[in-house]
Structure 1
Amino acid sequence: MTTMTSKLKYCLLSAATAALLIGCGGTTTTPTPDITLPAGVTLVEKSGKSGNVSIPFEKYEMPNGLTVVLHEDKSDPLVHVDVTYHVGSGREDIGKSGFAHFFEHMMFQGSENVADEQHFKLITEVGGTLNGTTNSDRTNYFQTVPSNQLEKMLWLEADRMGFLLDAVTQEKFEVQRETVKNERGQRVDNRPYGLLGERVGEAMFPEGHPYSWSVIGYLVDLDRATLDDLKKFFLRWYGPNNAVLTIGGDIDKQETLEMINKYFGSIPRGPEVTDPEYVPVTLDTDRYISLEDNVSLPLVYMSWPTVYANHPDEAPLDVLMSIMGDGKTSLLYKNLEKEGLAVNAVAGHGCREISCQFTMYALPNPAKGASLADLEKAMRDALVEFETRGAQPDDLERVKAGIVSGMIYGLESVSGKVSQLAAYETYRDTPDGIMDDIKRYESVTAADVMRVYNQYLKDKPAVIMSIVPKGQGDKIAAPDTWERYERTIPENTDTSNFNWTLPVDDFDRSVVPPSGENPSVVVPPVYTTSLDNGIEVLGSVNDEVPTTTIQLQLKMGQSHDPMDKLGLATNLAQYLNDAGTQSSTAEELSNRLDKLGSFISFSSGDDYTTMYMRTLTKNLDETMDIAMEKLTQPKFSQDDFDRLKSQTIEGIKQSKKDAGSLAWGAFNRLMYGDNNPIAWSGSGTLKTVNNTTLSDYEAFYQAHYSPSIASVITVSDLGEAAVKKALSPLGNWSGGEVATAADKPYPALETGTLYFIDKDNAAQSEIRIGRRALPYDATGEYYRAGLMNYVLGGAFNSRINLNLREDKGYTYGARSRFSGSEKRGTYVASAGVKKDKTAESIVEFVNEMNTFYGSGITDEELAFTKSAIGQRDARAYETPRQKLGFLSRMMNYDLTPEFVDTQNAILRNMTKEDVDTLAKKYVNPADMIMVVVGDKDAIFDDVKALGYRMVELDVDGNVIK
């Protein structure tokens, strides 16, 4: 890769020394353009700070009010384009909740010159990725594409900004209304504790306050909405003068501004927009509310109104939040989790544009018998304890280090930098906010933290919500003192007509801009070395940010679990995350890591256990010391074991309440058999977890944590020699040989069988249709099969997703994919669908697969596949995490970098006959099984009428006799 010309500027910040940080400061230069600006375009601001954590940028304003922010970054052949509109659910009217999010969906449905489904297709077929998000305060649309596609992206974004409404039809409106309702079902109504935020918002804010409803809105409001309502919402808020266009990456500023002027210049200003007004939120007394939900474990949640985003007191309140409930150094951890009263206890301080909320919540540990009232008291007692101890120097150092490191980690991708610039501009009217953020946290004092505690929390009323399992209303923390009100919906008196005219141009917008010259994509250079004990190291240099990422891989995992102690590998890895060592307590380790701004985690999958480490490079040696201590000196404590065991058991119980977890659990057991450890949840079962002892953990650790099965992959701004030196402690690690896990036979699939699991009152049904398939092979049939599936179920605009989501509105998303490891693989189609469309969704899945099985791919689809996959390498190696994934594939499957060239040749030469042959081999539904999880009373008869052999399973996956 080429050297980054606008490389992230930084100084080696010491979070303990604010003076050092502030001494790095600079000032913004006089905005003098270094290019010829299009007529009417003004340079407003230009970054000129040096020696700080900052992102070079230029900010321009167009005559129609559109704000443009450009960031030039030549490190990778890609661009990221973000359009942020300063409109979220907080701009909605009473009774019209969900409009901002609804319009996020509508903006992808085509415009005057962009056909239905063409937006996704145009971006996907050039190897790009795209999405949109909505929150209370803004909606943004973004895409990352190869750099030669910039003009096409500007054409697309301009067309939906200025030429959308005539293309918004009633049919599109109805389909997307159903899609949004499906999304609510999946993310809110069908998810344990999913209604928490909505109910707390109702109780926290007065009726009519823009945060008194959720971003996704109420179903009744979505049902009430009309197409005219939605169009008027667009005309009010989506003008260029309420938008920020931010572009980062491999761009030419002169050419980019000229293209922006061409495509956006004729779009007229919208109505003038002012910033929303902050009105302090106050509660007259504690408001207790409760809900019975389909959960296994009760929860108590406390929330106080505080300030608003970017208020001077936000930073000290964030420090207070960290002291109270962020990690193992917090008071909630010490008093609730460590003592075993709670399986989880956390604090937060969520801030939005016109209001913040300080929150604490806890879930009780049934083994200790604590009630929600007990937990509420324990949380209140923790606040009282803070009054005595105050904010300690370590507290301030931890939070400040986290802010600095978080800023740097967030700048590892061009999308991260663009997102930062866009957010700062939207909320602060300047893109240059990183240093201001760092300085405001660096300036927080212990006195500030105590002051905000006294001002916003001490003896102040809160909303306290209890969520309890259905039928257990007697377990709430306290009787309700506040009731949900019947909303007063104003009469719609707006009878105005649209004043909508298309902008006038001197060029033909219907012509899709051509692609520029294809950029050159270079696979990251890699090096190989080994440590003194034989551990292989595969590394790559990434000199764009001062960070180092290391992943130690042990070739063992869940496949090594004894059947009577399932969960051993996964739960031991979690134990190493959370427990102390022979030399340090867990709290001491957490404190040391937090003050470095570093992160270490252990995890385990089917075949590999990993230790992942991320740090600022200046702190690499200290972080490596902590990693080695956690890896080689764990302390096997009965107290830690008992605490984590309780958490694991409650997690397993909760998974039985989640339809998606039930579907995947049953599917995997049917694929791999009850006598195979990889068929089961990584956490194990209630029986096997209860059957596992602390001595089992210690024995498994001694038998399996060894350098003999270890390898290392790393990405750093350091060169090979410096990295090898930093890794030398790993080279001193010793251990014996580790036995290979025994291969277990797989059961015969009862193809054509539909397995059904009842989930009472499920808002949606979960569907899985699949079979065993291929183990991973980067250049063999596995890779070719993935190419075959791309247009069937791999891409957003695949046949399956377009049918079930875009055409019929049955689901928020449907897909199919091959997944494989060294020895096994599956092919599965999946979706969460509307309850009343479960049977119809199964029919559509099967129809699409049968059609593809019978007729194969079209010439157009084959060309689309080759174009989309052939160009996506431009964004494949940008970040350290992406490079780490590339190195991991090489290490785990013994590949050389040339495997990428082989894949490209396979893709280039693939024919329709090749694809059709693979479709005949792998996508015949007759060779598959089905798993459906849903509300039996509502859907069973319809599903049974489809004619499949039916087998009912319980929530543990056992056949119901």
Structure 2
Amino acid sequence: MLYRFILLGFLAPLIYGCTQTSDLSSAPQQSVAQPVSIAYEKYQLKNGLTVILHEDHSDPLVHVDVTYHVGSAREEAGKTGFAHFFEHMMFQGSANVADEQHFKLITDAGGNLNGSTNRDRTNYYETVPANQLEKVLWLESDRMGFLLPAVTQAKFEIQRETVKNERAERIDNQPYARRHERIGEVLYPEGHPYSWLTIGYIEDLDRVNVDDLKAFFKRWYGPNNAVLSIGGDINVQQTKAWIEKYFAELPAGPAVNKQAPAPAKLEESTFITLEDNVHLPLVQIVFPTVYARHEDEAALDVLASILGTGKTSVFYEQLVKTGRVVQAGVSHPCSELACEFNLVALTSPESGLSLASIYQDIQTILNEFEQRPFDEDALERVKGNIKASTIYGLQSVSGKVSTLAYNETFFGQPDLMNEDVKRYSEVTKEDVYRVFNQYIKGKAAVVLSVVPTAQPELAVAAPTVARPERNIPDTNNVAELTTTEIKSAFDRSEVPQAGEPPVVTIPSFWQLKFRNGIQVLGVTNDETPTVTVTLDLDGGMLLDPIDKAGLSVLTAMMMNESTQHYSNEEMANALAKMGSSVSFASSGRYTQVNVSSLTEHFIPTLQLMQEKLFNPAFKEADFKRIKQQMIDNINAQAKEPSAIAERIKSKVLWGSDNRIGLPEGGTVETVSRITLADVKAFYQRYYVPAKGTVVVVGDMTPGQIPGYFDFLNRWEGEDYSLADYGDFPQYPGQQIMLVDVPGTTQSLVRMVKRALPYDATGEYFKAQLMNFPLGDDFNSRINLSLREDKGYTYGAFSAFNGGKTLGWFEASADLKQQFTGAGIAALLDEIRQYREQGITAEELSYMQNAFTLSEALEYETPLDKASFLRRLLAHDLPVNYKKAQKRILLSIDKAEIDGVAERTLTPEELQILVVGDKAAILPQLQSLGIPVVEINAATGLQVTN
């Protein structure tokens, strides 16, 4: 072992490896709740740019967010998708930043970045080491003031194809994903800015040109329509000076008026049907309500929680627990102009219940709601969750900055956290009943049925309206907006130099060992009054009998059900009132118990963890319901191209003779064989401390461990072993394995071969370094070639994936159907060329910077710290392994990287899995000169003709 441990009977833990003062008292202490707020400074430049600064020196990093108050709600009918289109264009360079350099400069600086668009706003954000702040401000100001000179027809065409690929991947090729578009079209009147999706319509993207896009930018992307928010390890005076330098000289854009709220209004209920490639029929009922921060929003949110959130809800009690539906829920999403009250249920064909029957069940629930008085716990649950989620939002600088930016953009007041807690705390029963009567009871709604293709008779009712025809106005008129030439007082083409790199140290942690062998690592972190605990039990799915694959998952799901002293509802109620969670899951080779709690509620939360861990009830009714839900989920995934690809990929890599060759949750056949007795036996044999590890991160000291975790210290159970793997499949040569899924709009390509297991400083680590410029970065060769240069896909990547004992290499892309063959050829060519030509000097330097400088971002949140500790335990790593990795990074050269590429990249050995429409793509595949075999989607076996 690489750690020194002591036995913890009733002894205090030994602290070493860091310098800290520890409270060695073993008695649990109840902490005092802390106020919730974010300190900030707000001011405005003369050009209208609003600036918010938040100082936080807890980690050597900064987060920058630029939010423009423009989303799809600012678009015109016939020109939809522009705001999202510009999210892509804003990363394509500006007057002083070359094409693709924004991504490269931030990654090279050790940071990460992205952007997002919704109905009402677009934001761009970067998290970087603290010494890189000036560079980020230079980049953001350049695209705010100098984007258009770099917008060319060629870039426009490439990003148009990328956006179309994104829509195909996320909307058109995903079961149920088109329902939001269909609902919006009938919920809102024609021309309403919420009547189309943010990503827009393909025909609109095809219709417009680069001048339309430029006009949209000129209209909405001025500093007077933006909020610049910066948080983290900043010097406020220096930051203000940089903001003045880079942003103050940018001219304001046209005046922007606030849009008036426009909630939908319906005269009568409307029924619509969507036929889709699904297994589980779905009904969704949508009532129009109010708008964000309307005085009734909080009460409607509470109503949604009571009706359909969690195991204490009415929907769970009457629909899910009874087995009438597979899933059900109620939500109340709110946007700037309107909110929608959503009720959703999925039913299983095996239940024999129709959507019409479930719809009537929902109507009965609504009709009887007022006769089902709810107690104070219902309000306490919502309030507890609101408080907890608010505090958890403070755990990262990015979370705090995003909150400040959101509130300022829409409500003109950055910190509304206490006000939000207050307005939910003041909701009464009378408020809930009042909004129910005002917005839900007897009110008109849009009722959508999603049914399997060619089975419209399964809908709740025949459609009462046809899909609205789009009346496209004349789109040839582009508004003339003048552009003011900006004369900078400095040379904007010069990239700002970074300051001195911050000193990064691994989290100061403590370690100990319970007397039953459980190893414990922890970090005392008092930045927020929270504690997270993870208990890992080694084995997971590897402990399943292969003919009962899914047993580990099913057992973990049963551990989330009733206990001997608590019903499902009682347990969920107790946790929700505190804003706590205790959940069991089986993923990969681990069964995990995850606990999160506010510090003030940690003791009672641990008591509930103890109850769930040691006193499961294993009721027959719970077992039947959970087992059926697993089978329904497996059947539903059989319709999802991405799930099919993952399932067949596992079989290609590991074969039929190994448990890992089957999905984590098993198959319909294997799950059907599992009995309740199997679950009980699995629990008795494998829910033991012998291979357990615990990670604790939060507002507590190691001296409190004996008192808090005595129940784990006294836990007993016999050790167990993991079976060896069986033979893995061997192939005569490279093959294309085609899985036919008729009607798919994309071809999912997964090129795989078995490869290295995880190591921290050996060949696997070096293979990851080698692969970075090939396929593990936005600016990688594979992604730039297939996405940016050719427009074949929304994204392409390659990766080495290593576990404790096994690993694999994968190159992947979801390709536009007509470019399936060309995309496969391009992927293979990029891998082949990289192996033959090796890494360039520029790529080597870029990789070294990206890996070494990014360490400043690695330990910020409790989750980051917990991940670091779990990695130490899982792979038995030395405490200083990060230093060893850095030495390798700084010393590795082209010859060594090229040697790794030659040994590990063998494109001719890759098995090529393709999930797509055989009728459309088979000729393309045959033209590649690689043998094509057809694989049955359900069995994973070769189809014989």
Could you state the TM-score of these two structures normalised by the residue count of structure 2?
A: 0.96
Secondary structure, counterpart of 1:210 in structure 2: coil
Quick one: distance in 2 between partners of 1:185 and 1:390? 46
1:107 correspondence with 2:90 = yes
1:138 correspondence with 2:121 = yes
1:944 correspondence with 2:926 = yes
**For residue 773 of structure 1, what is the aligned residue in structure 2?**
755
Quick one: distance in 1 between partners of 2:443 and 2:154? 50
1:743 Cα shift? 2.5
**For residue 228 of structure 2, what is the aligned residue in structure 1?**
245
* Candidates 286, 301, 307, aligned match of 1:303: 286
The CA deviation string for residues 723-747 of structure 1, in whole angstroms up to 9 with x for no partner, is 3421222112222222323332222
**For residue 789 of structure 2, what is the aligned residue in structure 1?**
807
The CA deviation string for residues 112-155 of structure 1, in whole angstroms up to 9 with x for no partner, is 00000100000001110000000000000001000000000000
Aligned counterparts, 1:400-549, within 5 A: 400-492=383-475, 494-549=477-532
Secondary structure, counterpart of 1:289 in structure 2: strand
1:835 correspondence with 2:835 = no
1:202 correspondence with 2:185 = yes
1:721 correspondence with 2:703 = yes
**For residue 27 of structure 2, what is the aligned residue in structure 1?**
none
Q: Give ranges in structure 1 of 5+ residues lacking alignment.
A: 4-10, 15-50
Of residues 138-147 and 706-715 in structure 1, the stretch that sits farther from structure 2 once superposed is 706-715
Of residues 299-308 and 719-728 in structure 1, the stretch that sits farther from structure 2 once superposed is 719-728
Query: Are the equivalent residues in 2 in contact too, given 1:2–1:75 (CA < 8 A)?
Result: no
Q: CA RMSD in A?
A: 1.4
Query: Are the equivalent residues in 1 in contact too, given 2:212–2:478 (CA < 8 A)?
Result: no
Of residues 531-540 and 87-96 in structure 1, the stretch that sits farther from structure 2 once superposed is 531-540
Residue correspondences, number: 917
1:229 Cα shift? 0.5
1:633 correspondence with 2:619 = no
* Candidates 875, 880, 902, aligned match of 1:893: 875
1:63 Cα shift? 0.2
Quick one: distance in 1 between partners of 2:635 and 2:450? 16
Quick one: distance in 1 between partners of 2:666 and 2:831? 34
Quick one: distance in 1 between partners of 2:655 and 2:338? 52
Query: Are the equivalent residues in 2 in contact too, given 1:649–1:686 (CA < 8 A)?
Result: yes
Quick one: distance in 1 between partners of 2:373 and 2:286? 21
1:882 correspondence with 2:843 = no
The CA deviation string for residues 785-831 of structure 1, in whole angstroms up to 9 with x for no partner, is 10000000011100000111111111111100011111100010111
Quick one: distance in 1 between partners of 2:922 and 2:243? 55
* Candidates 681, 685, 688, aligned match of 1:706: 688
1:691 correspondence with 2:691 = no
Quick one: distance in 2 between partners of 1:341 and 1:234? 50
1:12 Cα shift? 7.3
Quick one: distance in 1 between partners of 2:200 and 2:900? 44
Aligned counterparts, 1:55-70, within 5 A: 55-70=38-53
**For residue 152 of structure 1, what is the aligned residue in structure 2?**
135
* Matched residue type, 1:845: L
Aligned counterparts, 1:311-330, within 5 A: 311-330=294-313
State the 4+ residue runs in structure 1 displaced beyond 4 angstroms: 11-14
Question: Equivalent pairs: percent with the same residue?
Answer: 49
Quick one: distance in 2 between partners of 1:797 and 1:437? 41
Q: Give ranges in structure 2 of 5+ residues lacking alignment.
A: 1-17, 21-29
1:392 Cα shift? 2.1
* Matched residue type, 2:625: R
Aligned counterparts, 1:173-252, within 5 A: 173-252=156-235
1:750 Cα shift? 4.0
Query: Are the equivalent residues in 2 in contact too, given 1:307–1:355 (CA < 8 A)?
Result: yes
Quick one: distance in 2 between partners of 1:12 and 1:172? 56
**For residue 281 of structure 1, what is the aligned residue in structure 2?**
264
Query: Are the equivalent residues in 1 in contact too, given 2:208–2:475 (CA < 8 A)?
Result: no
Query: Are the equivalent residues in 2 in contact too, given 1:523–1:897 (CA < 8 A)?
Result: no
Query: Are the equivalent residues in 2 in contact too, given 1:162–1:502 (CA < 8 A)?
Result: no
Secondary structure, counterpart of 2:690 in structure 1: helix
Assess, with a 3 A threshold, how the Cα gap between structure 1 residues 624 and 608 changes in structure 2: closer, same or farther.
Answer: same
**For residue 342 of structure 2, what is the aligned residue in structure 1?**
359
Quick one: distance in 2 between partners of 1:950 and 1:437? 59
**For residue 840 of structure 2, what is the aligned residue in structure 1?**
858
**For residue 83 of structure 1, what is the aligned residue in structure 2?**
66
The CA deviation string for residues 425-464 of structure 1, in whole angstroms up to 9 with x for no partner, is 0111010211111110011000000000000001000000
**For residue 22 of structure 1, what is the aligned residue in structure 2?**
none
Aligned counterparts, 1:756-795, within 5 A: 756-795=738-777
Quick one: distance in 1 between partners of 2:215 and 2:173? 32
Quick one: distance in 2 between partners of 1:854 and 1:685? 42
Quick one: distance in 2 between partners of 1:54 and 1:741? 52
Quick one: distance in 1 between partners of 2:374 and 2:237? 51
* Matched residue type, 1:659: P
Of residues 751-760 and 495-504 in structure 1, the stretch that sits farther from structure 2 once superposed is 495-504
**For residue 643 of structure 2, what is the aligned residue in structure 1?**
661
Assess, with a 3 A threshold, how the Cα gap between structure 1 residues 208 and 858 changes in structure 2: closer, same or farther.
Answer: same
Query: Are the equivalent residues in 1 in contact too, given 2:186–2:468 (CA < 8 A)?
Result: no
Assess, with a 3 A threshold, how the Cα gap between structure 1 residues 895 and 593 changes in structure 2: closer, same or farther.
Answer: same
Assess, with a 3 A threshold, how the Cα gap between structure 1 residues 209 and 563 changes in structure 2: closer, same or farther.
Answer: same
Quick one: distance in 2 between partners of 1:532 and 1:275? 64
Quick one: distance in 1 between partners of 2:358 and 2:770? 54
Quick one: distance in 1 between partners of 2:745 and 2:450? 18
Quick one: distance in 2 between partners of 1:180 and 1:728? 55
Secondary structure, counterpart of 2:724 in structure 1: coil
* Matched residue type, 2:490: F
1:868 Cα shift? 0.7
**For residue 733 of structure 2, what is the aligned residue in structure 1?**
751
Aligned counterparts, 1:583-662, within 5 A: 583-662=565-644
Secondary structure, counterpart of 2:98 in structure 1: coil
1:500 Cα shift? 1.6
Query: Are the equivalent residues in 2 in contact too, given 1:628–1:729 (CA < 8 A)?
Result: yes
Quick one: distance in 1 between partners of 2:477 and 2:249? 28
Assess, with a 3 A threshold, how the Cα gap between structure 1 residues 287 and 885 changes in structure 2: closer, same or farther.
Answer: same
Query: Are the equivalent residues in 2 in contact too, given 1:531–1:724 (CA < 8 A)?
Result: no
Secondary structure, counterpart of 1:612 in structure 2: strand
1:818 correspondence with 2:818 = no
Quick one: distance in 1 between partners of 2:46 and 2:380? 46
**For residue 37 of structure 1, what is the aligned residue in structure 2?**
none
* Matched residue type, 1:393: E
Quick one: distance in 1 between partners of 2:479 and 2:530? 56
* Matched residue type, 1:650: D
Assess, with a 3 A threshold, how the Cα gap between structure 1 residues 932 and 495 changes in structure 2: closer, same or farther.
Answer: closer
Secondary structure, counterpart of 2:332 in structure 1: strand
Query: Are the equivalent residues in 1 in contact too, given 2:39–2:54 (CA < 8 A)?
Result: yes
1:900 Cα shift? 0.3
* Matched residue type, 1:688: T
Query: Are the equivalent residues in 1 in contact too, given 2:211–2:478 (CA < 8 A)?
Result: no
The CA deviation string for residues 83-102 of structure 1, in whole angstroms up to 9 with x for no partner, is 00000001110111111000
1:571 Cα shift? 1.9
**For residue 18 of structure 1, what is the aligned residue in structure 2?**
none
1:739 correspondence with 2:702 = no
Quick one: distance in 2 between partners of 1:424 and 1:496? 31
Query: Are the equivalent residues in 2 in contact too, given 1:671–1:749 (CA < 8 A)?
Result: no
The CA deviation string for residues 622-655 of structure 1, in whole angstroms up to 9 with x for no partner, is 1111111111111111111111111111111111
Of residues 734-743 and 66-75 in structure 1, the stretch that sits farther from structure 2 once superposed is 734-743
Quick one: distance in 2 between partners of 1:929 and 1:501? 55
- Indicate the structure whose relative CO is greater, using CA pairs within 8 Å and at least 6 residues apart: 2
Query: Are the equivalent residues in 2 in contact too, given 1:527–1:538 (CA < 8 A)?
Result: yes
* Candidates 149, 154, 159, aligned match of 1:171: 154
The CA deviation string for residues 340-373 of structure 1, in whole angstroms up to 9 with x for no partner, is 1000011010100010000111111333311101
Assess, with a 3 A threshold, how the Cα gap between structure 1 residues 12 and 713 changes in structure 2: closer, same or farther.
Answer: closer
Secondary structure, counterpart of 1:351 in structure 2: coil
* Matched residue type, 1:349: H
